[in-house]
Amino acid sequence: MLEFIKQPWPWYIAGPLVGLTVPALLIIGNKSFGISASLRHTCAMCLPANITFFKYDWKKEIWNMFFVVGILLGGILAFNFLSNPDPIIINDTLRTELASYGVTNINGMLPEQLFSWENLITLKGFFMMVVGGFLIGFGSRYAGGCTSGHSISGLSNLQLPSLIATCCFFVGGLIMANIILPLILSI
């Protein structure tokens, strides 16, 4: 059984499992699926300042914090006990392109030459981690939710803003991967 769990699950199993989370949350607790709102709840819990955005009854949304903690613990358990020791298989063309930017150690989920404490103090690392992290946080707040909230929950609820946001996420991802990322990697 453990060997079955360690294998990558095909889309026709993983997709419906994720997809069933949305109606389960709606039916069981009239809650919507999303992760980025947990940052607001955390700030409202820990920083009870006189900021209008954080003045609400965050205790009604405590379930979201348990959900996020469960994701964190699940990731830790999966990394420590269910990791596949085999190297990650990537396309040879991508491997060659990354090598041209100096990224040759692709043994883990995140290349150490891009995502490490040592790389954080470089210009490339600063753009990748600090500026990128800020833009992700700003973008999810500006869009009124993250990719999981809009693309999974919003689309299943037939919300037009979620369709627009999902299209923008996709276009932004294409621009980032094909134009901006090569520029950052060539620094």
Closest to 16 (Cα-Cα) out of 131, 171, 152: 152
- Rounded (10°) CA dihedral 96, 102, 107, 110: -110
pLDDT in tens, 13-43: 888 888 888 888 888 888 877 788 788 888 8
What average pLDDT is seen over the chain? 85
Q: Is 82 helix (H, G, I), strand (E, B) or coil?
A: coil
pLDDT in tens, 130-158: 999 898 888 888 888 888 788 888 888 88
Query: pLDDT over 70 for what percent of the chain?
Result: 99
Whether 102 has a pLDDT exceeding 80, the answer reads yes
Element holding 117 (H helix, E strand): helix 117-120
Note the pLDDT of residue 20. 85
pTM, two decimal places: 0.72
**Cα–Cα distances in angstroms (integers) from residue 122 to residues 76, 119, 168, 173, in the given order:** 28, 5, 30, 24
